[in-house]
Amino acid sequence: MLIKKIFGVLLLLAMIALPQTTSAEKTDWFERGYNFRNIRTIILFDTTFNPSLGYGNSIEARNLQDTYEQNSRKLKCNVITEAQARRTIGYELGINLDSMAYSNPAQARQIIMQNAYRIADAWVLANVDNLANTYYVEPARTVWEERRETSYYYDSRGRRHEEVHYIQVPVTYPPRRVDVTSIQMSMQVYEARTGAVIFARKDVRDRQEYQAQKGMFGRITNSFFEDVGKKIRG
């Protein structure tokens, strides 16, 4: 009984100490008639961000892109980055797509998509639709908690004994700030020859943690590539 009580207290403390996911929701659609096992090579376009987020070409955005590319290994097929696709397709077409990407990135991407079938079976797009760091104040609260008490007594022979018992006591916690990181992403897989969407996901998550976007982004993209990889492997 004592061991169970101690374990229960430790579990409660762990739950309080660890950040808690308040919500996580994935919505998928995929083309049921498409044979994903035909995919051998995929072009991985760089992650884009809603312009209102102000990420642009920031260090944070580059770190997230590195995580994105690392997690794409879950696809278990040949992955070509957007930069590699620019060089390969640009060489075939006699166009300097690297230079174009600086002046008109949308046009450079469009040319890659139109010619993706030359080097790949599909391509992937990912966009961070929303990313926010907010907080709320949890008001002061009083809860009843179990407290361990130890008492000692002596028997008729003068021997000392220990007696453990538990009592319920009121404990008041002061107000506290709770930080929340929210992120929403949209990700799609396109068939290279037709340009048609064959897999799409919307992932929305909130987490009670201060500026946890890197870890959340990693879990979202890891889950996406893992699930697409399962379809490719059949």
Provide CB contacts within 8 A for 169, sequence distance 6+.
144, 145, 147
- Count how many residues are written for the chain: 234
pTM check: above 0.85? no
- C-alpha of 152 from chain center: 53
Terminal alpha carbon distance of the chain: 49
Question: Is it the case that residue 233 has pLDDT exceeding 50?
Answer: yes
In which band, very low, low, confident or very high, does the pLDDT at 68 lie, cut at 50, 70 and 90? very high
Mean pLDDT of the chain: 89
Provide CB contacts within 8 A for 9, sequence distance 6+.
146
Q: Identify the three-state secondary structure at position 165.
A: strand
- Please report, rounded to a whole number, the percentage of residues in the chain having pLDDT higher than 90: 78
How far is 202 from 161, CA to CA, in rounded Å?
63
Mean predicted confidence (pLDDT) in 210-234:
94
How far is 85 from 112, CA to CA, in rounded Å?
7
Identify the pLDDT of residue 112. Answer: 97
Residue from 43, 109, 47, 48 nearest 77 by CA: 43
Q: Identify the three-state secondary structure at position 140.
A: coil
Question: Is it the case that residue 176 has pLDDT exceeding 70?
Answer: yes
How far is 13 from 17, CA to CA, in rounded Å?
6
Q: For the chain, how big is the Rg over CA atoms in Å?
A: 27
Window from 15-24, 74-83, 181-190, 209-218 with minimum mean pLDDT: 15-24
Mean predicted confidence (pLDDT) in 139-146:
94
Inter-axis angle of helices 82-93 and 105-114, to 10 degrees? 70
Identify the pLDDT of residue 83. Answer: 96
- C-alpha of 196 from chain center: 26
DSSP state of 115: T
How far is 84 from 69, CA to CA, in rounded Å?
13
Identify the pLDDT of residue 16. Answer: 42
219: phi then psi, degrees, rounded to nearest 5: -70, -40
Window from 72-86, 119-133, 157-171, 191-205 with minimum mean pLDDT: 157-171
Question: Tens digit of pLDDT for each residue in 4-61?
Answer: 444 344 444 444 444 455 788 999 999 999 999 999 999 999 999 999 988 877 888 8
Asked if 66 contacts 55 with a C-beta cutoff of 8 angstroms, the reply is no
Instruction: Give me the residues paired with residue 124 across strands.
Output: 44, 189
How far is 50 from 201, CA to CA, in rounded Å?
17
- Give the pair of three-digit tokens for residue 210: 């201060």
